Structure 1
Amino acid sequence: MTKPLPRPVDFLIIGAAKCATTWEQKSLSASPGIYMPAPELHFFSREYDKGFDWFNAQFAGANPGDIVGEKSNSYLTQPEAAARIHNAYPSVKMIVQMRDPVQRAYSDYCMLLRRGEVDDDIRRHLDPQKAATERFLNDGRYGHHLTRFYALFPQDQILLLAFDDVATHPERQLQWVADHIGYSGQLTPPLHEKVKDKHAAAVPTSLRRLLAPLRPLLDPVRNTAPLSTMRSLVARPFTYPALPDDLKREIEVFYMPEKSTLIELAPNFQPPWIHVRDRPATSNA
């Protein structure tokens, strides 16, 4: 039997998590001539065993001539993903959107706390002495993760973006992506509201856990009027533990080597969270 080949894919948004990549995906998908599957497929990271028949089927809604892409934040951080992507798509364009890694870690922690997947012991989950290799801190090691991609792909195939520009220059941010993927059509204005608002009321954790077995049935209809009405009746304001100043400083120190690696890989990428003191001194000679 002939092994299925990967269907053509023009671009991949590979991360980072909690850096407005869902905003990016939804804004791009609203433009005519760009097609992206709605959910994250995580194919090259977590679902590779499903094979290309499954992966190819996720793009059945694309029209001939569409620029086709996919977003899965786990591609940046899962070690096997870079080589798998390169084997299938050595010429694919990739987009990486990053934010201050300390803020990213805290935001990721708050998201899982809201979902009831972690407890409120913030030091247990964000202290570099206890959790350096766990998701919240490890996912922000941008330099470490990008090294795998720069070893396989030319630099011009990887577009690095700053989360900060989503708030200040969303149209420009989206245009940079469009230029990178070769889209010459008229971009639909980007979303101007948050895709995920951590300050919105949340279903209590105890009820979330009770409903967890029903998620496969509820998720496809979660945005319908009956479900939205029911949710509004039980949702309550959610309080997050603050990030202590001393813990924030410890996390900043943890990420300093990572910033240096990122500077070496991409010296022209200068988001505001890479401070002047993090950059190597330049010679006047």
Structure 2
Amino acid sequence: MADYPKPELDFIVIGAMKAATTWVQAQMSQHPDIFVPEIEPHFFTRDHKKGWQWYRDLFPATKPEGALWGEKTADYLAPPEAAEHIKREYPDAKLIVQFRNPIDRAYSDYKMVYRRGVVKGPPDEYMMSLDNPQPRFLNGGLYGKHMARWFDMFPKEQILCFTFEDVKQRPQETLEKVWQHIGANPHFDSEFAKKRQNDSSEELLPLPVRKALAPIKPLVKPLRNSALFKSTRGMFAREINYPPLSQEMRAHLADFYAEDVALLEKLLDRDLSSWLNVQERADAA
């Protein structure tokens, strides 16, 4: 039980990592009915030790009538303890999960960790099996395994599932489903609905520079969109050249994920076979 008044949450976006959940959060932040913290709290995983007061303070002091509160932490999907904690503390919260082709998701996750300087080798070093220093790259895309656990704990109608492709092809329709699911005004038309979020191809400051500037990051955040900030950043930023994901590794990952994708298809009653069509993706590249 909480030792401090809990925020009255109506919904939680639980994942998946590197599946454009930042886009969903950005749309929510524009909706007049909704409040979501800017940060990912990770409260039901690694940061639970920070306590309920810390979590409550991420939200406004009072909740207006008709307001909807929620949060987005993309790594809630995979860890069993996250589902257990949320079930215990917010059994009635509406849950939202967005999936992405697990092969693309694994490579996108690899690129994020690569540009942070945590890994230095090519993708093949970390994606042959789960027995490697970064099992997160593969484990994060085992959606069938993870969703089977969530569906065991929550009714299916309490969890809205959609895909990265849904967002790309039908952004406004997908948003309307989100609004209806959580009880927000479904006719809100976000002008940012088609704006891409979290582009990993963006030039990045070198790791030593980012570490040196980390203490002042909160102070400069309000200036991020200014011309001065962008020009100063451009003086130090550099384009990152990522080690490629080979066609052979894509084929290996298609085999690795085949059984799990079949499970997810059964759980969602949806055809996801295109995720594993490696040759089709190569022809489109």
Which category describes the TM-score, using the shorter chain as reference length? 0.7 to 0.9
1:281 is matched with none
Q: Distance between the aligned counterparts of 2:233 and 2:151, measured in 1?
A: 44
Distance 1:250 1:219, change over 3 A: farther
- The 3-state SS of whatever aligns with 2:161 is strand
Report matched runs for 1:156-167 at 5 Å: 156-167=157-168
Q: Distance between the aligned counterparts of 2:130 and 2:77, measured in 1?
A: 23
Contact in 2 for aligned 1:99/1:273 (Cα 8 Å): no
1:135 is matched with 136
1:243 is matched with 245
Contact in 2 for aligned 1:131/1:137 (Cα 8 Å): no
Q: Distance between the aligned counterparts of 2:237 and 2:69, measured in 1?
A: 37
- The 3-state SS of whatever aligns with 1:131 is coil
1:29 is matched with 29
Distance 1:42 1:273, change over 3 A: farther
Residue identity in the other structure for 2:132: A
Deviations, residues 125-154 of structure 1 (Å, cap 9, x unaligned): 222275397111111111111122111110
Distance 1:240 1:211, change over 3 A: closer
2:47 is matched with 47
Instruction: Return the offset for 1:220.
Output: 4.5
Mapped pair 1:216 → 2:218: no
Mapped pair 1:88 → 2:74: no
Q: Distance between the aligned counterparts of 1:216 and 1:140, measured in 2?
A: 33
- The 3-state SS of whatever aligns with 2:274 is coil
Residue identity in the other structure for 1:255: Y
Instruction: Return the offset for 1:77.
Output: 1.4
1:172 is matched with 173
Greater displacement, 49-58 / 175-184? 49-58
Q: Distance between the aligned counterparts of 2:219 and 2:187, measured in 1?
A: 30
Mapped pair 1:232 → 2:234: yes
Deviations, residues 79-121 of structure 1 (Å, cap 9, x unaligned): 2010100111111100000011000001111122122221142
Instruction: Return the offset for 1:272.
Output: 5.8
Q: Distance between the aligned counterparts of 2:69 and 2:109, measured in 1?
A: 28
Report matched runs for 1:10-159 at 5 Å: 10-60=10-60, 63-64=63-64, 65-128=66-129, 130-131=131-132, 134-159=135-160
Greater displacement, 222-231 / 92-101? 222-231
Instruction: Return the offset for 1:34.
Output: 0.8
Instruction: Return the offset for 1:274.
Output: 5.2
Q: Distance between the aligned counterparts of 1:8 and 1:39, measured in 2?
A: 18
Distance 1:241 1:89, change over 3 A: same
Q: Distance between the aligned counterparts of 1:185 and 1:19, measured in 2?
A: 23
- The 3-state SS of whatever aligns with 2:153 is coil
Greater displacement, 239-248 / 227-236? 227-236
CA RMSD, aligned part only? 2.2
* Unaligned segments of structure 1, at least 5 residues: 277-285
* Unaligned segments of structure 2, at least 5 residues: 278-285
Contact in 1 for aligned 2:97/2:160 (Cα 8 Å): yes
Q: Distance between the aligned counterparts of 2:74 and 2:17, measured in 1?
A: 5
Contact in 2 for aligned 1:35/1:62 (Cα 8 Å): no
Instruction: Return the offset for 1:217.
Output: 2.2
Q: Distance between the aligned counterparts of 1:173 and 1:132, measured in 2?
A: 36
Contact in 1 for aligned 2:14/2:75 (Cα 8 Å): yes
Contact in 2 for aligned 1:162/1:271 (Cα 8 Å): no
Q: Distance between the aligned counterparts of 2:272 and 2:259, measured in 1?
A: 16
Instruction: Return the offset for 1:182.
Output: 0.9
Q: Distance between the aligned counterparts of 2:258 and 2:276, measured in 1?
A: 10
Residue identity in the other structure for 1:261: L
Identity across matched positions, percent: 34
So what's the TM-score if we normalise by structure 1?
0.87
Q: Distance between the aligned counterparts of 1:131 and 1:245, measured in 2?
A: 21
Instruction: Return the offset for 1:219.
Output: 4.6
Q: Distance between the aligned counterparts of 1:53 and 1:123, measured in 2?
A: 43
Contact in 2 for aligned 1:62/1:68 (Cα 8 Å): no
2:281 is matched with none
- The 3-state SS of whatever aligns with 1:258 is helix
Instruction: Return the offset for 1:230.
Output: 1.8
Deviations, residues 6-42 of structure 1 (Å, cap 9, x unaligned): 2211100000011110001101210111110011001
